[in-house]
Amino acid sequence: MRNYSFWIDWFRTSAVKPEGETAVAPIGAPAYDSERFGRVLNGGAARTTAHNLGLVKSLSPAQRMINWLKTQPADVVDAAAQNLNWDRAEEVVLWLLSQPTTDAATAVKLFMRAEPACYVYSKAEDPSFEPSEFDENVILSFAANWRANRYARGGVGYDPSEVCPYGSSDIFFINELNEDIANYGANGIHPLPPLPGLAGPFRGPKPKELEAYLRAQGRSELFFVRFLFAGLGTWIFDDDINEEDFDEWMRKNRLSGE
């Protein structure tokens, strides 16, 4: 089993195999769909399989994920966004926050993950405080777009007061943030402007459970999306796809280095 740093490096550097070369015989993994790759990762243009694969390899892992997200409904985008590796998917997160098609509920969830209350407190108490560039970009990008009412509505249902499996809810942190913004603002300190409506309501379909949704789409989609997440440092769907099956899919679809 090759590790994912190997695959990522290989995607970036490997030459495309000549058209017409004999493919690896199928064993048990789902087949590669050249039209699927072309439509989702390469902008939909009709190309040969070899050309499709070459273009796939030329894209960064973040751009592959972004191109896939562009094809998905809001509730699937929301589910996928919650599975992103925060340390490896910075480009994807910032892209989502910059899009007017991103649902407001999804944007709020990403914003809260950057711990904006901590940002407000730290900046107010120490103006020289320097947060991570990524977290600050998330917070400021969201705040500007939120105040301009740039995010879509109705694609995702979200109740910030709902308790998650870990025993907490977003509403506590939303209330904490709103109180800090108001208290510091009353004293003329404005790390962030008021952000009304963070608690919703957010009406729309409940976000899909990503694994169940992809399983319903077919086993090939499970492999395809695992390939996208793997490039961003996240190993998902352990119960549905083991490492051996995934390696087989990579080899079969001429995405492996062997």
168 domain-assigned: yes
Alpha helices (H) in 153-242, listed in sequence order: 170-186, 210-217, 219-230
Q: What's the pLDDT at 41?
A: 63
Q: Is the domain of 73 the same as that of 17? A: yes
Q: What's the pLDDT at 87?
A: 87
Q: Is the domain of 116 the same as that of 170? A: yes
Residue 167 dihedral angles phi and psi, to the nearest 5°: 90, 10
Give the structural domain span for 144. Answer: 104-151+159-201
Question: Model confidence at 10, in pLDDT bands (50, 70, 90)?
Answer: very low
98 domain-assigned: no
175 domain-assigned: yes
Q: What is the mean pLDDT of the chain?
A: 80
50 domain-assigned: yes
125 domain-assigned: yes
Q: Is the domain of 176 the same as that of 213? A: no
Q: What's the pLDDT at 14?
A: 36
Q: Which pLDDT tens digit goes with each residue over 151-202?
A: 999 999 999 998 665 557 889 999 999 999 999 999 999 999 999 999 999 9
Q: Is the domain of 126 the same as that of 190? A: yes
Q: Is the domain of 172 the same as that of 114? A: yes
Q: Is the domain of 126 the same as that of 169? A: yes
Q: Is the domain of 120 the same as that of 173? A: yes
Q: Is the domain of 178 the same as that of 224? A: no
Q: Is the domain of 183 the same as that of 246? A: no
**Distance separating alpha carbons of residues 133 and 147, to the nearest angstrom:** 21
97 domain-assigned: no
pTM for the model stands at 0.79
Instruction: Go through 13-31 and write b for each residue having 16 or more CB atoms within 10 A of its CB, e for each that does not.
Output: ebebeeeeeeeeeeeebbe
**Distance separating alpha carbons of residues 176 and 184, to the nearest angstrom:** 12
What is the tally of structural domains in the chain?
A: 2
Tokens of 80: 């996928």
Query: Lowest-pLDDT range, 41-50, 128-137, 210-219?
Result: 41-50
Q: Is the domain of 147 the same as that of 67? A: no
Q: Is the domain of 197 the same as that of 217? A: no
132 domain-assigned: yes
Q: Is the domain of 185 the same as that of 247? A: no
214 domain-assigned: yes
Question: Model confidence at 27, in pLDDT bands (50, 70, 90)?
Answer: very low
Q: Is the pLDDT of residue 211 over 70?
A: yes
